[in-house]
Amino acid sequence: MIVHEAINALLMAKKNRNVPRSREDLLAAAKHIVHDYSTLVLTGVAIAKGSISAPFNGPLEQSFHISCRKFAHFFENKRSKRGLRDMMARQFVGRGVKFKFPTWTKWAQHMDKHLFHLSYDRFKNKRPWHGYAENPAFLREFQIAWKLFLSELPQGLKERFSLELNDRAQNPAFRDLDLR
């Protein structure tokens, strides 16, 4: 009987990963989401301005792409393969809100093979990456998604995100950025 109860508990725990998070979890998550989104904007704007020179421009671009991937998964409600407790936009704004990333989607698999993994597919690729046109497009797509996300937040969460955005704007590194 004890084994049966343990199996049922494990099955319920697995099922519960798809259950919407508690209000307290969502409120606490706002700080982390704003932090990571502001990093996406900071790095994306620095790349667009060309304000970071070699040898730091390459690592900065990687940081930007990692942030893009993170937010693509967040907005597209993708869970990691290991079933971690990933935050997903639908937990905050519901399932009816759709986000679009046409440029990012076009390059996502390329990024996966070239940036996120040490893959043999790297040298089979025939499409060169320059990023000159794509990086600003990535930034625009995520800024549009962010604005939509913020506009669809229910009361309570909207105020928490606003509070976290105001707090982040006090940091001199983010003061001149449009984080809304």
What average pLDDT does the segment 7-13 reach? 40
DSSP 153: P
Q: Read off the DSSP letter of residue 121.
A: G
Cα separation, 11 vs 23, in Å, equals: 24
> How confident is the model over 24-63, as pLDDT tens digits?
999 999 999 999 999 999 999 999 998 888 888 889 999 9
146 vs 117, residue with greater confidence:
146
pTM: 0.84
Mean of pLDDT over the chain: 86
Say whether pLDDT at 6 is over 70: no
Query: What is the number of other CB atoms lying within 10 angstroms of the CB of residue 101?
Result: 20
Residues ≥6 apart with Cβ < 8 Å to 145: 71, 75, 99, 100, 101
Go through 140-176 and write b for each residue having 16 or more CB atoms within 10 A of its CB, e for each that does not. ebbbebbebbbeebeeebeebbeebbeebbeeeebee
Between 131 and 176, where is the model more confident? 176
